[in-house]
Amino acid sequence: MEFRIKFSDPVRYFVEGAEVSKRQFYRARQTGKMPKVRKVVAASETGIIGCGNGWPLKLLSLKAHPKQAQQMRDRAKRHGISVEYTNEGHPIIPDLGNYKKLMALEGVHQRNSFYGS
């Protein structure tokens, strides 16, 4: 088995090329068994965002019907907003500027949110 540690901030652990937790890493080294890890796929396929600083942001409150996702994407593009929609219809916003623009376009004001516009 191949074991690798990437010393960055934060430290990342890999077993056979798959990223695992520190605990899974050392357990695999002791037992010689591959830990169970989830397959990493694109955010557009699953809607799971795994960025440490909070961006890109998946909005649950502005979900569109999956059949309307393309229309919503085109509408946002016409207004100069960079947004991607998941297969379920959830918008994924890449940064704070696009978040503010999308909220203004939709007429939504987040009163109970860190990212107020």
Residue 105: CB atoms within 10 A of its CB come to 15
- pLDDT tens-digit profile of 26-82? 888 888 888 776 654 444 444 444 445 667 888 888 888 999 999 999 999 999 999
If asked whether residues 36 and 57 sit together in one domain, one would say no
If asked whether residues 98 and 69 sit together in one domain, one would say yes
Q: Are strands 57-58 and 84-85 parallel, antiparallel or unpaired?
A: unpaired
Query: Would 6 be classed as within a structural domain?
Result: yes
What would you measure as the largest C-alpha separation in the chain, in angstroms?
Answer: 55
Query: Would 117 be classed as within a structural domain?
Result: no
Share of the chain above pLDDT 90, in %: 14
Query: Would 112 be classed as within a structural domain?
Result: no
**Single-letter code of the amino acid located at 10:** P
Query: Would 53 be classed as within a structural domain?
Result: yes
Distance CA 117, CA 109 (A): 7
Q: Map residue 45 onto helix, strand or coil.
A: helix
If asked whether residues 94 and 51 sit together in one domain, one would say yes
If asked whether residues 29 and 7 sit together in one domain, one would say yes
Residue 46 is predicted with a pLDDT of 42
Query: Would 18 be classed as within a structural domain?
Result: yes
Domain extent, residue 27, equals 1-40
Query: Would 111 be classed as within a structural domain?
Result: no
Query: Would 116 be classed as within a structural domain?
Result: no
Residues with Cβ within 8 Å of residue 23, at least 6 apart in sequence: none
Is the model's pLDDT at 109 over the cut of 70?
yes
Residue 41 is predicted with a pLDDT of 45
How many domains is the chain built from?
Answer: 2
Residue 36 is predicted with a pLDDT of 73
| Residues 93 and 83: beta-carbon distance below 8 Å | yes
Helix axes 69-78, 96-106, angle to 10 degrees: 110
Residue 69: CB atoms within 10 A of its CB come to 19
If asked whether residues 95 and 64 sit together in one domain, one would say yes
Query: Would 56 be classed as within a structural domain?
Result: yes
